[in-house]
Structure 1
Amino acid sequence: MLVPNTATGLLYEVYNTLFPIVEEEMKGWEEKAAAIPDRELQLQALASIDSKKFHCQGGAVFALLAGMKYEKAIRFIVAYQTISDYLDNLCDRSTSLDPKDFRMLHEAMKDALRPEAALQDYYAYRSEKADGGYLEKLVLTCQAALKDSDDYEQIQEYCLELWALYADLQVHKHVKVEERIPRLTTWYKENKDKAFGLSWYEFAAASGSTLGIFCLVSYAMGGKMTASLPQHIMYSYFPSVQGLHILLDYYIDQKEDEMEGDLNFCNYYRDDVELLERLQYFIHLAEDRTRDLPDSTFHQYIPKGLVALYLSDEKVESLREGKQVRKRLLKTAGMSGAFLHYNIRLYNKVKLHSVGRLPPTEC
């Protein structure tokens, strides 16, 4: 499979090639989630699939970098993202506030990146344990996919570095409310060398994305890895693309997080003006840092696509100055960003895969 180098080609492959496979993979995991014996674990597993399906759809775009192994890449991406979303639900809506519990749960994401790793008791520090092997099956699926990649050894340390940041974030942001900010700011100070001058909440946001891992794994599966590429991907995706990804995610969830009492990093900007300026900064930074990657045109579409995807969510309509922010950010993302946004909104409105088979207007 060739990596698309136009917005039209990208959307065609996404709707016609990737989404049907993602749908099948997610259907299988939904069936397994429905069979979880413990009611609480079952509810959280099903809720994470139902409400966060678009995370898997968006992540699957990176499978286009895997060449003929794109189906294997999708299998990994869907399984790994499903672990992430499931564990996020367990921590967000948790019956526990124990950091040891959160740390142990996220060992599953680490083991999923280590093909030879033995499974662990990921529920060791919580009362709910009977998941019918659901989490273990997700881990094993990731491991099996990675074993099929000859180049995985070249990227494993980088994947684990991104996992470590992700896991730290998930632990620190889900503990008792009064402990969250002190833990996050201390963690930030300990990692100042990785923060690239960002604020503590922007560094935390950049740590909460799985996109860098998906990019690394897809290139490795496609046999395109070179000695310098893993470090180049890290530089290009962390913190710029990953920061933009999660800040947009938090941006659209502001009202929901306020109602649920969840931490939202967008609340720490001085005002909406600063928030908009920083989102624009991340767009420009992501475009600049991905410019020299192989398949650079594809990577340039990623920040544009993130803006297009998240601002297509109906939750934007309910936010203060939401329509104005969307207008400004789409302008920053350029014509291609606006084109992708229009097509995503059309797809969401119709909610049928047949929309993807309509030839979009060339951009």
Structure 2
Amino acid sequence: MVLMTTVFRRVFPVVNEELTYWHKKAEQIPNKELRKQALASIEAKRFHCQGGAVFALLAEEYWKDAIRFIVAYQTISDYLDNLCDRSTSLDPDDFRLLHQAMEDALSLENDGTNYYGHRDEQDDGGYLTELVHTCQNVLQGIPYFSFVKKQLLKLENMYANLQVHKHVKEDERLDRLMRWYEENKEKTPTLSWYEFAAATGSTLGVFCLISYALSGKITEELAQIIYENYFPYMQGLHILLDYYIDQQEDKIKGDLNFCSFYSNQDQLKERLLYFIKETDKAVQRLPDKKFHQFVHHGLVGLYLGDEKVMGLDGGAKMVKELLRISGRTAKFFHWNVKMYYRFEKDRETS
């Protein structure tokens, strides 16, 4: 498992360096509420950056640039998610303007925008703008960025729409999400409205496109192949697994969880197995097939390795079945992730 060794010994340490930098920046945010949400997003969701940074290996000699982009972009995503989910606003205009930062991060321009224009909290000491500029600075070094821009913006636009629709007032969320699905269901006719929404909520396609672009191997044809084979199944599997492990936590906090819309655990298991199988098929159409298989099976192992799974009804049975269908790599990743988290926990308490 050379890829696994590389991830743990080379990728994760650089990710941790980048996150340490952004954590220090977050500590300096003047506004108390913005500082609180920025710090919480890094401390509770660092594994999002660790998982996403695996794609940096596709960037070859520019892998550290890829990590810099991935950590900054994912930190924007997690921070904004907290601002929409855990903070002081239920205003869709606020959410839309905040997520303009993610679109700006995928452009080559450095024009400043007041992303907090629709909320009371304003002064972040330049934190969000610096995250955006960090992404832009990496993109400026890509000679053929135009080859991936269309697909990047399509993925970002869907992501931003999801964040707006699912964070408004509780009595408006389902109507907005269902209407949005009706407008787009021809893109994913095999999915329910909540599965479509899940598939739009992943950043994996963005990280894959950026990493290939940094490697110099990107073409317009490859960019389209990546888009079509990451969305919807790879991305949908990613977010459904994320929601699966968070079911109890979201129930307590009153957060929308797409896994709650399945009629029972058997249907949930059946659909997760469907996403795993469809992702297997999609991976066969990609270059560097072994890498994408590693990511696919790694997702299953990563999420099912979370200790929260054992607190779910039928969690142990679900883990056994999904690991069985996902194969040896998923089982190996699952064991390693559990050992890694145990080591980190022991290290923090020693």
- TM-score band by shorter chain is over 0.9
1:304 pairs, out of 265, 273, 297, with 297
Shift of 1:284: 0.8
Partner of 2:228: 235
Matches within 5 A, 1:184-203: 184-203=177-196
Partner of 1:130: 123
2:102 pairs with 1:109: yes
The 8 Å contact of residues 37 and 87 in structure 2, kept in 1 or not, is answered as no
Distance 1:283 1:152 in 2: 31
| CA RMSD between the two structures | 1.2
Shift of 1:89: 0.4
- Would you identify which runs of 4 or more consecutive aligned residues in structure 1 move more than 2 Å? none
**Residues 252-300 of structure 1, C-alpha deviations (whole Å, 9 max, x = no match):** 0001101111000000001000000100111111111011211011101
Matches within 5 A, 1:26-175: 26-175=19-168
SS at match of 1:132: coil
> Which amino acid in 1 is paired with 2:192?
S
Partner of 1:271: 264
> Which amino acid in 2 is paired with 1:44?
Q
Partner of 1:289: 282
Distance 1:197 1:118 in 2: 40
SS at match of 2:232: helix
2:7 pairs with 1:14: yes
Distance 1:352 1:174 in 2: 32
**Residues 49-99 of structure 1, C-alpha deviations (whole Å, 9 max, x = no match):** 000000000000000000100000000000000000000000001201000
Partner of 1:335: 328
Shift of 1:117: 4.8
Paired residue total: 347
TM-score, structure 2 length as denominator?
0.98
Q: Which moved more, 1:189-198 or 1:208-217?
A: 189-198
Distance 1:262 1:85 in 2: 15
Distance 2:212 2:327 in 1: 27
Shift of 1:227: 2.9
Distance 1:171 1:292 in 2: 33
TM-score, structure 1 length as denominator?
0.94
State the identity %: 56
Partner of 2:173: 180
Shift of 1:197: 2.1
Partner of 1:319: 312
The 8 Å contact of residues 16 and 353 in structure 1, kept in 2 or not, is answered as no
SS at match of 2:327: helix
- In the superposition, relative to structure 1, how do residues 184 and 146 fare at CA in structure 2: closer, same or farther (>3 Å)? same
SS at match of 1:52: helix
Distance 2:112 2:319 in 1: 44
> Which amino acid in 2 is paired with 1:67?
E
Distance 2:319 2:123 in 1: 43
Q: Which has the higher contact order (CA 8 A, sep 6+)?
A: 1
Distance 2:24 2:257 in 1: 32
Distance 1:93 1:60 in 2: 26
Distance 2:329 2:299 in 1: 12
User: Which structure 1 segments of 5+ residues have no match?
Assistant: 1-7, 355-363
Partner of 1:361: none
